[in-house]
Amino acid sequence: MKSTLWIWAVSALLLSGLTGMADDKTETKPAEKKSSAMDLMQPSTLNEKAPDTFKVKVDTTKGAFTVEVTRSLAPNGADRFYNLVKAGYFKDVPFFRVVPNFMAQFGMSGDPKLTAIWNHANITDDPVKGSNTRGMITFATAGPNTRSCQFFINFKDNSQLDHQGFAPFGKVTEGMDVVDKLNGEYGDGPPWGKGPSQGEIEAEGNTYLKKNFPNLDYIKSATVL
């Protein structure tokens, strides 16, 4: 089991971690590459290059917000996010670690089968070109070259994370007020807090979360605009 993904940052308040298959030809209609549920079980097939810039609408239990991604900030990260969105990964995905005045973390699937696959589907690090200021979206990590499917949105200026290798790839450009409303009552997870355990999420998914942390917010869907 992959170790818990924490983002390590100096914080007086926290002192805690953040560290298609082509179909047969049919007449003259060209083959079209499409993402499917099967693709989600095979991360290596989700390797499309993202546009230079693109927007993603994220519909949550608190409302919708829009992320604008700039690929040049972190190409590998932008490509991974783009492919996850297009493949329909973000469905009933929890905001399992919401720490007020710090960040909101998400990306572990509610389906343990998907989590087991994607928590180990690492991508190579990108150089840090942006800064973890308010509204910026960045990958969570367990160390060098361990980015996979977990992300966080900065509630405030967390530029102290920049020199630790956390490379933002986009920003919430609409609906940051929705992000601000995400339920943070459970706070940080073990061992720093009493919030959800990532190990338990990996083992039981949303069954564990909805039983023990019923007020968490979730991503209902995410769509490339």
Cα 70 from chain centre: 16
Contacts of 71 (CB under 8 A, 6+ apart): 50, 51, 52, 53, 54, 78, 79, 169
Query: Contact, 7 vs 18, CB < 8 A?
Result: yes
Question: pLDDT, tens digit, for every residue of 49-101?
Answer: 999 999 999 999 999 999 999 999 999 999 999 999 999 999 999 999 999 99
Instruction: List the one residue out of 114, 99, 76, 122 whose CA is nearest residue 9.
Output: 99
Question: How high is the pLDDT of residue 23?
Answer: 38
Domains along the chain?
53-224 (2.40.100.10)
Cα 73 from chain centroid (whole Å)? 16
| Side-by-side strand order, sheet with 218-224 | 93-94, 218-224, 53-60, 63-70, 170-174, 136-139, 151-154, 103-106, 97-99
Task: Centre a 10 Å sphere on the Cβ of residue 62 and count the other Cβ atoms it contains.
Answer: 17
* Residue 19, CB-side half-sphere exposure with 13 Å CA sphere: 11
Closest by CA position to 95, among listed 177, 205, 184, 167 = 184
Q: What was the pLDDT predicted at 148?
A: 97
- C-alpha 194/C-alpha 85 separation (Å) is 30
The pLDDT value recorded for residue 39 is 86
Tokens in use for 216? 């968490």
Regions of the chain with pLDDT less than 70: 1-38
Residue 20 burial class via C-beta count within 10 angstroms: exposed 0-12, middle 13-18, buried 19 and up: middle
- Determine the Cα–Cα distance for residues 214 and 191; give it in Å rounded to an integer: 20
Can you tell me whether residue 142 is helix, strand or coil?
coil
> Within 13 Å and on the Cβ side, how many CA atoms surround 138?
33
